[in-house]
Amino acid sequence: MSADNGTYHALLARHDAMRLRRQMLSPGGGPDVDSGGGPGSPAAGQPYDGAADQRTIMHGLDLVAPFDELIAHLYRALFARHPSLRSLFPAEMEFQQAHLARAFWYLIEHLDRPEQITATFTQLGRDHRKLGVLPAQYAAFETALCEALRVRAGEYWTGELEQAWVRMLRLGVTAMVRGADAALHEPPCWQATVTEHQLRGPDLAVLRVRPHEPFRYRAGQYTALESAQLPHTWRPYYLAGDPGRDGELELHVRCTGPGGVSEALVHRTAAGDQVRLGPPKGNLALGEDAAAGELRLVAWDTGWAAMKALLRELDGRARSASVPGVRLFLGADALSDLYDTEYLTGLERSRPWLTVVPVTGGAPGEDVYDRLARAVTRGGPPATGRALLAGSPAMIRTVTAALTRAGLPADHVLHDPLPPGPRGLPRPAGDFGPAGTPVYPGRSIPA
């Protein structure tokens, strides 16, 4: 694409975003699609009563559940009306449908806290630019959702129920459009070339990739990655490299099942292959007050990648200022699952401020996450310290609970967002990753 064409399409996307935002915020207005969104949007300037819509949706949830059937009908309606949109989605839709189910649960769970939805979906809109989604396509999605709701609810469908769902959807979509609009200055995704591929075990690979354009990120963040072998299928992985050091990125990938992105990256990728990267994101950061109190870094399996980046940042700070005592806890199912051990041994020997504690295995029947939690809290956490966690959601819940029981304030425990679940209802199966995505960086569900 030429520079002139790129500028034109950027301006066109901005125009579409502004037009859609005006339509969604107009009194009683909605996107001008073929069957019209109908009434339901709050008038501009009026506060959105998310708690009321939450009660309406929860009260009628049994009419449209289970979500897998609602979403299957939604996508059938969407592709029937707009066949061209099918090319934006992966060939296998199971993962995408699970993604959307978890996004719905997130919206429902947080409707009484719309500011949290706005923050989360603003980031999600920025991230979804890599999929090639245009603002007008959100309107087509809304029409398909309304059709699916009517079919699922049948004779019990009401306009009140539909309007509550539409307002909820528009709250998220408005934030996504704003996020995409605000990110027009950066690429929607980054092309990159694999420069090195090392197998560190039968199902583990460490990749180095070089983006074709500058890719700026912060230690502790992650990126979504797409293999050329599986178009439109993205999975998140932590970045282990040193931001800004040499332009290359380091990613750790554990193969979690056949036929997915992780299997392609571990077993069917080599130097010279092409991948695409989404915008960096994540909550893990040392912060400016990293020198205040002992720091505990807790990683499970490939969550070590995030800690490796944070340790490199600490190492850089140590050259010009004092750093706190750092205890690194590395958890894995078995001793053979630990890797990068030579690097860690050398780092610990030469850095007096670092202590490395590996935690593996355990007694038969013993929960491995409980074992890790006991190691992390042994002796009790200092009141002024902090803990940064990366790994599976189950590990993070277990260790976070142990740390808070031991006296560490909850706001001193940092990790990326965990799966939300609807209040009083069973959480859908699988992992729900950062910013509404269904995979947590590191080892989780098959990816």
Q: In the chain, what is the straight-line distance between the N-terminal and C-terminal CA atoms, in Å?
A: 31
Residue 130 in contact with residue 279, Cβ under 8 Å? yes
CATH number at residue 130: 1.10.490.10
In this structure, what token pair is assigned to residue 360?
């593996």
In this structure, what token pair is assigned to residue 190?
């980054």
- pLDDT class for 27, splitting at 50, 70, 90? very low
In this structure, what token pair is assigned to residue 338?
């630990």
pLDDT in tens, 106-142: 899 999 999 989 988 888 887 777 766 666 778 888 9
Q: Is 100 in the same domain as 51?
A: yes
Question: What pLDDT, on a 0 to 100 scale, did the predictor assign at position 420?
Answer: 52
Q: Which domain holds residue 145?
A: 3-182
Question: What pLDDT, on a 0 to 100 scale, did the predictor assign at position 381?
Answer: 66
pLDDT at 262 over 90: yes
pLDDT at 34 over 50: no
Overall domain count for the chain: 3
Greater pLDDT, 242 or 60: 60
CA angle, residues 437, 441, 444, in degrees to nearest 5: 90
Greater pLDDT, 259 or 415: 415
Q: Is 52 in the same domain as 154?
A: yes
Q: Is 143 in the same domain as 31?
A: yes
**What radius of gyration do the chain's Cα atoms show?**
23
Please give the Cα distance from 108 to 423 (Å, whole number). 9
Question: What pLDDT, on a 0 to 100 scale, did the predictor assign at position 137?
Answer: 79
Q: Which residues partner with 250 through β-bridges?
A: 208
- Within a domain: 178: yes
- pLDDT class for 236, splitting at 50, 70, 90? very high
pLDDT at 435 over 60: no
Mean pLDDT, the chain, as a whole number? 80
Please give the Cα distance from 18 to 407 (Å, whole number). 48
Please give the Cα distance from 64 to 104 (Å, whole number). 12
Q: Is 198 in the same domain as 81?
A: no
- Range with lowest mean pLDDT among 96-100, 210-214, 427-431: 427-431
Question: What pLDDT, on a 0 to 100 scale, did the predictor assign at position 331?
Answer: 94
Residue 92 in contact with residue 151, Cβ under 8 Å? no
Cα atoms in the Cβ-side hemisphere of radius 13 Å centred on 445: 15
pLDDT in tens, 163-182: 999 999 999 888 888 888 87
Q: Residue 367 class from Cβ within 10 Å (0-12 exposed, 13-18 middle, 19+ buried)?
A: exposed
- Within a domain: 253: yes
- Within a domain: 286: no
Among 132, 163, 182, identify where a domain stops.
182
Q: Is 140 in the same domain as 209?
A: no
Please give the Cα distance from 280 to 189 (Å, whole number). 10
**Mean pLDDT across 367-379:** 91
Q: Residue 325 class from Cβ within 10 Å (0-12 exposed, 13-18 middle, 19+ buried)?
A: middle
- Range with lowest mean pLDDT among 92-96, 198-202, 355-359: 92-96
Task: State pTM to two decimals.
Answer: 0.69
Q: Which residues partner with 299 through β-bridges?
A: 330, 390
Q: Is 330 in the same domain as 235?
A: no
Burial 351-361 (b: 16+ CB within 10 A, else e): bebbebeebbe
Greater pLDDT, 308 or 423: 308
Give me the percent of the chain exceeding a pLDDT of 70. Answer: 79
Instruction: Say which DSSP state 239 is in.
Output: B
Q: Is 7 in the same domain as 33?
A: yes
Residue holding tokens 């109908």? 38
pLDDT in tens, 139-158: 888 999 999 999 999 999 99
CATH number at residue 383: 3.40.50.80
- Within a domain: 33: yes
Q: Is 60 in the same domain as 207?
A: no
Q: Is 344 in the same domain as 273?
A: no
Question: What pLDDT, on a 0 to 100 scale, did the predictor assign at position 441?
Answer: 60
- Tell how far CA 73 is from the center of its chain: 25
